[in-house]
Amino acid sequence: MSYRVTFVCTGNICRSPMAESVFRHHVDEEGLDVEVDSSGTGGWHVGDAADSRTVAALRRAGYRSAHIARQFEPEWAAHYDLIIALDEGHLAELRAMAPDGEAAAKIRLLREFDPSAGDDLDVPDPYYGGRADFDQVLEMVEAAMPGLLDEVRAALKER
């Protein structure tokens, strides 16, 4: 059975689809048995594609993106091995939705996996910004990937 990772932001059109695309790229490149997806805590954009600025930032960096937004449902917690929140607000919302302590323990912040992040573990929402904001988010996402991949590789070895 695949290891399952999901990324969660607010509307599932900027940060979480960006993290999903970058992580999927690395997982595919390494041939890891990992299922990757994303969703949002809110339903405003359900059915929409990723924000065009997200797609543009990903393409400039050499990543592919094919995405349709969806909203995270509390019962999904049992399906995932790791639920990655993009900021403290998402973390709190997801933990409040968790049906039990086991599910809550699966929920982590993306920047926890970046040793250079310091105390600021939020990935800022670029939605109201411009190209530089989306590029900054992509840099933060990429910086967390080595640590996240180490975590997932270790979990796969334990299976």
Averaged over 12-27, what is the pLDDT? Answer: 98
Place of tokens 């997982």: 27
Nearest by Cα to 149 from 2, 25, 9, 12:
25
pLDDT band for position 1 (cuts 50, 70, 90): confident
pLDDT band for position 55 (cuts 50, 70, 90): very high
- Please classify residue 135 by burial: count the beta carbons closer than 10 Å to its beta carbon, then call 0-12 exposed, 13-18 middle and 19+ buried: middle
Q: Is residue 104's pLDDT more than 90?
A: yes
Query: What is the three-class DSSP state of 7?
Result: strand
Domain that holds residue 63: 3-158
Mean pLDDT of the chain: 97
Active site residues: 9, 15, 125
Averaged over 111-132, what is the pLDDT? Answer: 97
Averaged over 93-121, what is the pLDDT? Answer: 96
145 CB-near residues (< 8 Å, 6+ apart) = 22, 23, 26, 113
> Where residue 63 sits, what CATH number does that domain have?
3.40.50.2300
The pTM of the whole model exceeds 0.95: yes
Number of structural domains, the chain?
1
